[in-house]
Amino acid sequence: MNRKRYLRTSEIARAANVHPNTVRLYEQLGFLPPVERDPFNGYRRFTREHLNQMLLARKAMRFILLGGSIRATAYEVIGQGAAGDLGGALELAYRLLSQVQAERAQAEAAANYLERWVEGVLPDQLARPQRIGEVAKLLDVTIDQLRNWDRNRLLEVPRDPSNGYRLYGPNEIGRLRVIRILIRSRYSMMAILRVLSKLDAGEIVELRAALDTPEPGEDILSVTDHWLSTLARVEGDARELVSLIETRIAAQKTEQQNFFDRN
């Protein structure tokens, strides 16, 4: 009788291109199915299913840094895979793909808005300069947000010489609309400052590239510092995750059919 071939922790780690401690951590976190122990030496008895789940979990973990609902769905995919529910994992993987595509569409739309604003297609018409409270109400933001954008050098607002209050004209309102849509589309403050600084320096071409490309020596603190390219990459990762799960489901069906054929 053939003895069942078990895999060692090191073999799982090597196949997944991670440290063995990562395999042990994923086991502790419940990212893998329960692992049997050898009754004689206590070694972990990993199987091919553990390896397949490890590869799925590693692929899904690529989405964690995106945060929000995308991160939550990625964890759900891992959980369903660990529980052996590949049908549920596949459904969630398609949801993850849809979430990434929606995020990317929003980011692209914001970049398009920026370009159209620079072309002068989106002028703001005001009867008179607005004070900060009026602007906050107009744009549905808080006064603190407006002051924060000012402090972070995203714009300079002229002051009323008689009292020192900020006065927002058409140019400032238009710029604030651009800042708001970029922030709500999850571009980082650094990325927005980068592209607006280029505009202030008279550079009005390749703005999309500027929005997505950190300067040499610039600290990259978040994936949203280069948001467009990040979303393009993770959409590809999401498609790969779907394909990985579909391949596992197909392999399971083949194994089941072969078992029935033999018996």
- SS3 assignment for the chain: CCCCCCECHHHHHHHHCCCHHHHHHHHHHCCCCCCEECCCCCCEEECHHHHHHHHHHHHHHHHHHHCHHHHHHHHHHHHHHHCCCHHHHHHHHHHHHHHHHHHHHHHHHHHHHHHHHHCCCCCCCCCCCECHHHHHHHHCCCHHHHHHHHHCCCCCCCECCCCCCECECHHHHHHHHHHHHHHHCCCCHHHHHHHHHHHHCCCCCCHHHHHHCCCCCCCCCCHHHHHHHHHHHHHHHHHHHHHHHHHHHHHHHHHHHHHHHHC
pLDDT of residue 2: 46
Per-residue pLDDT of the chain in tens (263 residues, 90 and over written 9): 445 689 999 999 999 999 999 999 999 999 999 999 988 898 999 999 999 999 999 999 999 999 999 999 999 999 999 999 999 999 999 999 999 999 999 999 999 999 999 988 766 777 788 999 999 999 999 999 999 999 999 999 999 888 888 999 988 999 999 999 999 999 999 999 999 999 999 998 889 999 999 988 877 778 999 999 999 999 999 999 999 999 999 988 877 767 666 76
Q: In the prediction, which pLDDT does 215 show?
A: 86
Look at the block and give the residue holding tokens 């999401």. Answer: 238
* Per-domain residue ranges of the chain: 106-217
Query: Domain 106-217, what fold?
Result: Multidrug-efflux Transporter Regulator; Chain: A; Domain 2 (1.10.1660)
Confidence (pLDDT) at 1: 40
